[in-house]
Amino acid sequence: MEGLALVKVIVIALAVVAFASPATGQSLPGGFVYLRDIDPTILEDIRYAGSNNFVGRPLAGYEAADCVVKRDVGLALARAQRELAPQHLSLKMLDCYRPARAVHDMVIWAQNGRETPAERRYNPAFRKKDLFRLGYIAEHSGHSTGAAVDLTLVDLKADNSAAFDPGRAYADCTAPTSARAPEASVDMGTGYDCSDVKAHTAARLITSDQRRWRNVLVSAMAKQGFVNYSKEWWHFSLPGAGGPAYDFPIEARFR
């Protein structure tokens, strides 16, 4: 009996230790947080951590597909999410904090003198060497301060099962949603990271439904203090939440 009791004590002790010692979260500098720690209901599809982006590979510093933001930004996003929930809508994060090394990676990509058909899907009307001059990519990004985010909306009642196939030759980012790469989100009129006038938030060459979705997103974000970048329907920043640019890598929230 004493031996059995001892075994029970050991089992209980191990269970308590396991419960009290979860996987250690990564420490972040400068008031940054993992968005999941503030609101785990917000969807995340961090595109620069994979191949479904205009470069076609993970960018430098994206070691995990986790959204990292300044705490004030995360709290504001959570408030927007609560406002959208009664409409059966969810935010979906496409990019959050972006290490400065990733921004430099974009610069090198734009200047490498090559342009593949897959890359052209994202800038059908421009050459990639002109994207900086035209304001579609910046050499110094607000994303690196933790105050800027890229995001879209997901209709939780819709079928969002369509997945990106890296081996498929999709139409360019301005094409109808049935022909371009799937976003698993509402139809905003262009794909994410589309460098084209049609992606300008107030673009005229979109349908009434596409404009309505853009207005829903802009309104929900503006209500929480976010400002939209006029050339990108997906890009928002929170004034006053930033600071210096950072270059720490994005690591997995838990190891």
**pLDDT per residue over 82-137, tens digit each?**
999 999 999 999 999 999 999 999 999 988 888 899 999 999 988 888 887 887 87
Query: The CATH number of the domain where 47 resides is what?
Result: 3.30.1380.10
Residue 87 lies in a domain: yes
- Asked whether 206 and 189 are in contact (CB, 8 A), the reply is yes
Residue 7 lies in a domain: no
pTM: 0.88
Residue 177 has pLDDT above 50, yes or no: yes
- 4 falls within a domain: no
DSSP 233: T
- Domain total in the chain: 1
Annotated binding site for Zn(2+): 143, 150, 235
Determine the angle formed by the axes of helices 208-222 and 71-84, rounding to 10 degrees.
130
Residue ranges for the known binding site are 143, 150, 235
In a domain? residue 39: yes
Structural domain harbouring 233: 30-237
Tell me, yes or no, whether 193 lies in a domain.
yes
- Whether residue 11 is contained in a domain is answered as no
Tell me, yes or no, whether 197 lies in a domain. yes
Instruction: Confirm whether 112 is domain-assigned.
Output: yes
pLDDT band at 168 (very low <50, low <70, confident <90, very high): very high
Tokens of 222: 């503006």
pLDDT at 111: 87
Q: Which residues are catalytic?
A: 232
The answer to whether 238 and 90 have CB atoms below 8 angstroms apart is no
Say which residue, 64 or 255, is predicted with more confidence: 64
Q: Do the beta carbons of residue 229 and residue 237 sit within 8 Å? A: yes
Cα–Cα separations (whole angstroms), residue 156 to 2, 159, 223:
56, 8, 21
pLDDT greater than 70 at residue 189: yes
